[in-house]
Amino acid sequence: MTAMPQSAPTPLTLEQLKEKARLLRIHSMRATTAAGSGHPTSCLSAAEIMAGIFFHAMKFDPSKPNAVGGDRFVLSKGHAAPVLYAALAESGVFPVSRLMTLRHLTSELEGHPTPRIPGVDAATGSLGQGLSVGAGLAIGARVQRSPARIYVLLGDGEVAEGQVWEAAAFAAHARLGNLTAIVDVNALGQSGRTMYQHRMEVYKAKFEANGWQAEVIDGHDIAAVVAALDRARSTLARPQAILARTLKGNGVSFLADKENWHGKPLSKDDLAKAIAELGGAPEIEPDNGRSYARAELPKPPQFPPLPATNYEAGQMVATREAYGTALKRLASILPQLVAVDGDVKNSTFTETMEKTAPDRVFQSYIAEQNMVSMAVGMAAQGLVPFAASFACFLSRAYDQVRMAAIGRSNINLCGSHCGVSIGEDGPSQMALEDLAMFRAIPGACVLYPSDAVSAERLVETMARTDAICYMRTSRPKTPVIYKNQETFPVPGFKVLARTANDRATVIAAGVTLHEALKAAVSLKAKGISICVVDLYCVKPIDADALAVEIRATGGRLVIAEDHYAEGGLGEAVLAALASAGVAPTVVKHLAVRGVPHSGRPDELLDKFGISARHIAAAVEAL
Amino acid sequence: MTAMPQSAPTPLTLEQLKEKARLLRIHSMRATTAAGSGHPTSCLSAAEIMAGIFFHAMKFDPSKPNAVGGDRFVLSKGHAAPVLYAALAESGVFPVSRLMTLRHLTSELEGHPTPRIPGVDAATGSLGQGLSVGAGLAIGARVQRSPARIYVLLGDGEVAEGQVWEAAAFAAHARLGNLTAIVDVNALGQSGRTMYQHRMEVYKAKFEANGWQAEVIDGHDIAAVVAALDRARSTLARPQAILARTLKGNGVSFLADKENWHGKPLSKDDLAKAIAELGGAPEIEPDNGRSYARAELPKPPQFPPLPATNYEAGQMVATREAYGTALKRLASILPQLVAVDGDVKNSTFTETMEKTAPDRVFQSYIAEQNMVSMAVGMAAQGLVPFAASFACFLSRAYDQVRMAAIGRSNINLCGSHCGVSIGEDGPSQMALEDLAMFRAIPGACVLYPSDAVSAERLVETMARTDAICYMRTSRPKTPVIYKNQETFPVPGFKVLARTANDRATVIAAGVTLHEALKAAVSLKAKGISICVVDLYCVKPIDADALAVEIRATGGRLVIAEDHYAEGGLGEAVLAALASAGVAPTVVKHLAVRGVPHSGRPDELLDKFGISARHIAAAVEAL
């Protein structure tokens, strides 16, 4: 796990590093001019910094730039992608000629970096997330006893994002001495001057207040950059911030520190002038046909199946509790398993794992954005992260989840305390939009178990699945309904009751599944039978199989969910049936409509129309 | 607008304030024990602080506690709701007897505060948002030339949330001398000790690094609390942080600084012991029948209709540009209108308003969470805030939008650059989940205009609408299709083409509406006519009216949207039809499936299956 880099760049002289910086500038401008869009001036301010990081400080194998043993780099200011691509090309990760494909439909060199590119560990471009990813990579290196160092380049504009300070606080608290942040303080944002402009002492005070070693340098003095990077490397007790005073557009007289150049490529004429000012550009050599690094994100590890669970039918266990039990069991056989908590481990039951594997549970405190982006960094080191919070608080990290999906990250998330069934704490603690949120994440797997057996099995499935997985767990204890040997394929659902003469198909999950089962009993007393479906996998849905059930009840459908009406089970089912070409003849959709409030769980289920009584009434009205 | 409080509390002696703190403790424990849940120990640490704020520092009229002219209080650590309710009751905002209804289904005294309670301006309970709300209230007071002061009580646990530091940086930069933050540093989180425990100097350094006046006090020394609040009141140049060292559960020996008491009420026996230790409790007097304050959030102002727009048919104007133009026109007749930007005003076109009303456009820099919660505070001061960013970056503030909805806040949000049609910048800059996100906000109005006329009219509608309104705008220029006199009711849609023999109804909005219109032309050449629907209002939907259109084309339906397949136009339409009891016979749903990438807008529309060619093919295949 701690393979050292197989080759390291030969140390370059300061003159050679200056030449690298010059080339990075030229590549960045050429590529954006060819693309007709992009952010060349945001690249120019970072040229010496990038030269220092890539050609002096970093030790990595250009044929395996994402190896655990090698140093890693995160471009948090993702819009400076061209200078990263230029540095990767000059490092030999891919040919320089490829830079001219920037932003083409068929090129992996997109407007902002994604892990489709070797050497990139996470998608960036939504600002302020990179330091958290870096912290996750640093934790990943530490867990795997790698001596590697993580470098993160931030812009000054993005330092306004609170997540940067979540990550800063965490990294110092966790004593991540293997993490170095460099802030490219060019003082110009997209639409004007940044908040602090070149008041470098403010940035220094902020990082120091958060427990970092911090120093201010001239970011265009390559000797200063190199010296600061050397000092950072020799610091092991805490993370280091290098605050580099730079000018946006530096190196080209008509760009340097000029407003209204953000996100604008140079015209061909301006490009020629700029290159002339920089002393002329080399010819772009055609690719010499040698083989290059491939972009490979870690895949989920293989591991033997967990032994069957040991529950009794009817035993009262909350799915959130089963989540914790499953994590603990997984941890005992899967060394790559790690968990991240946001100070709610006693609610999500992450603490169950912590009791037996404390060194693999990381406390991110109340900072959900950092928690999720850190998990992305951990996954990029080959770990299998599970991050959990109240489901409603994962809405705090929706942008981070979105970016994780763009980066094809293999993180696992669990949200507890869904729906009105949490009761008295009230709406701020109820997740009623989490299914809508996670269903709209491309490629995500969205799971919603209703009992302890399915919850445990599905946690195991999450660890094996190469996608963002989300599990929704419930606060109340619910009876175990499945046998310990039951399996839960993804996609899939379970039919819990079925006769030849069912009045309707009732689809539910979580607490409403148990309400549906109660409704089935009360309806049976009236001579009415129903088909009850446990839709434990909300995304993907086996649409054709589900359509068979709906057809069997004459297209009569009742859906009950402890979620708002939009984007949850109901719409998932309607969309699946539409895609399968089946039109339900009549649909009763029971969901939470309007903002709920405090009350007892049973009162709330009833008041918001999703209790057994309402399900039975909906069936009878069909 | 600057009405001074009509009455102010008589100054109390330190002994009287100590007695108030004692009562706040007793009320908090009694109410939570009666409720059987809640967070009494989180109230106890704040007793002296709350006594000092409510009975010494704040000047407000208990019969109108949310008045612009009065001081305001935000309980950012919302789980300490009982101590807030106790302070409001002791202030005479409502009777003390009401405290015993805590967390009942029919009580407005919910588990966490919402503006259903007089004296509460914003829902809290998702931590770390209150300081931003306070900054918005402080801006609101300043804009309306009120001398009022805003107090925000935070917990130390929540200070790990990055949003706190977004707000801190903003407040100092904006020189909000009328904003006082008090941090109740009780050193215990939910699941363990906080990151910094009682290292008070760390908090002080962080606030100072962000430009605040900061001091550390003993939070249980009422004289120290009062003195610090007095010093804060006399500071006008910058915001002030009072960092109060406290003990969770202080005042009761078996609770003080004890772990595992978070979120747990006392048993009746423990309550009796605690009250005895505190010197005994007064009888709870029955309500004396006097009238009390009513909870009233500001309603949108009345204002005359904007004159008609002045576009020409076919004129190429991006809806994002029309958004800016409409804001500018509104600003000229609506003095309450304010705008908040996150350093993208030249992309969202908020800058158009800034050119003529610069004093009403606030720069929140790249900090979307703070931007949205600040807007909530502004709205609570009777302003009409419009906050805009790239639609994808509003996902950063989903939790804040969620809380705004729980607080029935009347904020307006605009998200630009939706969908793959933004082109080369790539997926990190494309909003493809924003409709799913905002549709799942209860009571929200979700608008998606396709041309400049409708965009301008709908901006006006947002300002008049008493709900969270979201407008999705597009990056590309699109032709004006409506007459300047056209109106756009909410809910509503427009039928742009209709014959007696339409093959299908095609529903679209934004760029795909223009693709649908192109498809109509190419289909017409083949002798096929279609009904084209502009679904400019995605939520609410006039389901019955829409059902009429679908029935008229034999239930044949094509939906095309520049959004992921989940939670957007397609599912909104399917759900509406299901609620109207209409089953479409066949549905083709064209949406973005999978993570997109960089490319030209036209290439991407085509590659992801939502261009005119694909719409025409879908119709032909019906």
ipTM, interface predicted TM-score of the complex: 0.97
A440/B439 CB distance under 8 A: no
Half-sphere exposure of A507 (CA within 13 A, CB side): 32
Length of chain A: 622
* Residues A56/A226, Cβ–Cβ less than 8 Å: yes
Residue B290: pLDDT band with limits 50, 70, 90: confident
- The model's pLDDT over B501-544, given as tens digits with 9 standing for 90+, comes to 999 999 999 999 999 999 999 999 999 999 999 999 999 999 99
* Residue B74 C-alpha from the chain's centroid: 14
Interface touch B442/A603, C-beta < 8 Å: no
CB contact (8 A) between residue A160 and residue B343: yes
Mean pLDDT of A76-98: 97
Query: Which of A11-15, A192-196, B259-263 is least confident?
Result: B259-263
Q: In which element (H, E) is residue A589 found?
A: strand A586-592
Show residues of chain A in contact with B437, CB under 8 Å.
Answer: 398, 433, 436-437, 440
Q: Could you tell me if B268 and B243 are in contact, meaning their C-beta atoms sit under 8 angstroms apart?
A: no
| Residue A359 CB coordination number (10 Å) | 8
The confidence score (pLDDT) of residue A570 equals: 98
CA distances B552 to B93, B498, B504, B586, Å, are: 57, 10, 9, 13
Sign of CA dihedral B119, B122, B128, B132: negative
Residue A21 belongs to what H/E stretch?
A: helix A14-35
The identity of residue A455, as a single letter, is A
Sort B506 into a burial class: Cβ within 10 Å, 0-12 / 13-18 / 19+. Answer: buried
Nearest to A424 among B37, B169, B398 (CB): B37
Q: Which of A569, A552, A532 is nearest to A446 (CA)?
A: A569
C-alpha distances (whole Å) from A540 to each of A17, A167, A443, A489, A493 are: 50, 33, 8, 11, 11
Q: What's the CA angle centered on B504, arms B502 and B510, to 5 degrees?
A: 110
Amino acid code (one letter) for B303? F
| Confidence band for A476, pLDDT divided at 50, 70 and 90 | very high
> What are the tens digits of pLDDT across the range A498-531?
999 999 999 999 999 999 999 999 999 999 999 9
CA distance A459 to chain B (A): 23
| Whether residue A7 has pLDDT greater than 50 | no
Can you list the positions of beta strands (E) in B97-160?
150-155
E strands present in B84-144? none
Among the partner-chain residues A209, A369, A399, the one whose CB lies closest to the CB of B206 is: A209
Residue B10 has a pLDDT of 66
pLDDT at A497: 87
A76 near A152, Cβ under 8 Å?
yes
Nearest chain A residue to B163, by CA: A162
Chain B residues closer than 8 Å to A116 by CB:
597
**A3: pLDDT strictly greater than 60:** no
| Rounded Cα gap, residues A497 and A500, in angstroms | 11
Which residue in the list A368, A433, A456, A571 is annotated as catalytic? A368
Bridge partners for B470 per DSSP: B413, B446
Say how many residues make up chain B.
622
Residue environment code for B270-281, b if the CB has 16+ CB neighbours within 10 A, otherwise e: bbeebbeebeeb
User: CA separation (Å) from A546 to A557, A586, A589?
Assistant: 11, 16, 16
A-B C-beta contacts closer than 8 Å: 344
- The residue with tokens 């380049």 is A153
Measure in Å the smallest separation between the Cα of B571 and chain A Cα atoms. 6
- Strands B316-317 and B478-479, bridge-based pairing: antiparallel
A606 C-beta neighbours (distance < 10 Å), count: 18
CA B24 to chain centre: 30
pLDDT > 60? residue A356: yes
**Cα within 13 Å of Cα(B523), Cβ side:** 28
* pLDDT reported for residue A290: 83
Question: Each residue of B70-112: pLDDT tens digit?
Answer: 999 999 999 999 999 999 999 999 999 999 999 999 999 999 9
Which chain A residues touch B211 with a CB distance below 8 Å? 202
- Listed residue (A27, A17, A52) closest to A281, CA to CA: A27
- Which residue in the set A211, A395, A440 is minimally distant from B566, CB to CB? A440
Chain A residue with minimum CA distance to B440: A566
Measuring CA to CA, which residue among A620, A605, A410, A416 is closest to residue A527? A620
pLDDT at A382 over 60: yes
Q: Do A566 and B173 touch (CB under 8 A)?
A: no
Place of tokens 């839960």: A488
Annotated active-site residue B368? The verdict is yes
Structure tokens at B17: 């304030």
DSSP element (H, E) containing A549: helix A543-552
Whether the pLDDT of residue B435 is over 70: the answer is yes
Average pLDDT, chain B: 96
The least confident of A3-17, B11-25, B171-185, B601-615 is A3-17
Say if residues B392 and B428 touch (Cβ distance below 8 Å): yes
**To the nearest 10°, the Cα dihedral for A503, A505, A509, A514?**
20
Question: What proportion of chain A, given as a percentage, has pLDDT over 70?
Answer: 98
For residue B163, how many C-alpha atoms fall within 13 Å in the half-sphere facing its CB? 32
Which residues, 6 or more positions from B46, have their beta carbon under 8 angstroms from its beta carbon? B77, B80, B83, B153, B184, B219, B246
The percent of residues in chain B predicted with pLDDT above 70, rounded, is 98
Average pLDDT rounded to a whole number, residues B462-472: 97
Q: Is the N-terminal amide bond of B540 cis, ω within 30° of 0?
A: yes
> With an 8 Å Cβ cutoff, are B575 and A578 in contact?
no
Please, are residues B154 and A307 in contact by the beta-carbon 8 Å criterion? no
Test the A interface: residue of B75, B117, B158, B165 with most A CBs within 10 Å: B165
Instruction: For residue A603, list chain B residues with Cβ-Cβ distance below 8 A.
Output: 105
Q: Residue B181: which region, alpha, beta or left (left: phi > 0; alpha: psi -120 to 50)?
A: beta
Q: Could you say which of B90, B321, B351, B368 is catalytic?
A: B368
Residue A535 is given by DSSP the state: -
Beta carbons within 8 Å of B302's beta carbon, 6+ residues apart? none
**B37 DSSP 8-state letter:** -
Check residue A10 and give its pLDDT.
66
CB contact under 8 A, B162 and A206: no
| Residues B557, B573: Cα–Cα separation, whole Å | 10
Q: What confidence score (pLDDT) does residue A508 get?
A: 98
Please give the Cα distance from B602 to B622 (Å, whole number).
25
Residue in chain A closest to B191 (alpha carbons) equals A343
Q: A393 to chain B nearest CA, in Å?
A: 7
Spell out a b/e string for A36-54, using b for 16 or more CB atoms within 10 Å of the CB, else e.
Answer: ebbbbbbbbbbbbbbbbbb
Q: How many angstroms away from the CA of A211 is the closest CA of chain B?
A: 9
How many CB atoms are closer than 10 A to CB A285? 9
**DSSP-derived 3-state class of residue A311:** coil
CB contact under 8 A, A111 and B441: no
**Contact between B402 and A439 using a beta-carbon 8 Å cutoff:** no
pLDDT, tens digit (0-9, with 9 covering 90-100), for A554-591? 999 999 999 999 999 999 999 999 999 998 999 999 99
Contact between residue B50 and residue B84 where contact means Cβ atoms under 8 Å apart: yes
In this predicted structure, what is the pLDDT of residue A541? Answer: 98
What pLDDT score does A289 carry?
77
Q: How far is A461 from chain B (nearest CA, A)?
A: 21
Give the integer Cα–Cα distance in Å for A559 and A532. Answer: 10
Q: In chain A, what residues touch B123 (CB-CB under 8 Å)?
A: 427-428
Which structure tokens are listed for B540?
């609410």
Burial B41-77 (b: 16+ CB within 10 A, else e): bbbbbbbbbbbbbbbbbbbbbbbbbbbbbbbbbbbbb
Nearest beta carbon to residue A595 from set B351, B429, B443: B443
**Coil vs helix vs strand at B517:** helix
B177/B237 Cα distance (integer angstroms): 5
pLDDT at residue B296, as a whole number: 83
Backbone Cα Rg of chain A: 27
Which residues in chain B touch residue A593, judged by CB atoms under 8 angstroms apart? 442
Cβ <8 Å between A594 and B190 = no
The H helix count followed by the E strand count for chain A is 21, 19
DSSP category for residue B93: S
The side-by-side arrangement of strands in the sheet containing A179-185 is A72-75, A150-155, A179-185, A240-245, A213-218
Cβ pair A209:B205 closer than 8 A = yes
Helices (H), A407-451: 434-439
How far does A198 lie from chain B, in Å, by closest CA? 14
CB contact under 8 A, B567 and A440: yes
- Asked if residue B567 has pLDDT above 50, the reply is yes
Output the pTM of the full model: 0.97
Cβ-based neighbour number of residue A338 at 10 Å: 27
The answer on pLDDT for B142 being more than 70 is yes
Judged on CB neighbours under 10 Å (0-12, 13-18, 19+), A532 is buried
- Predicted pLDDT at A285: 82
Q: What is the mean pLDDT of residues A341-356?
A: 96
- Give B396→chain A minimum CA distance, Å: 5
**Chain centre to alpha carbon of residue B26:** 33
Mean pLDDT of B534-563: 97
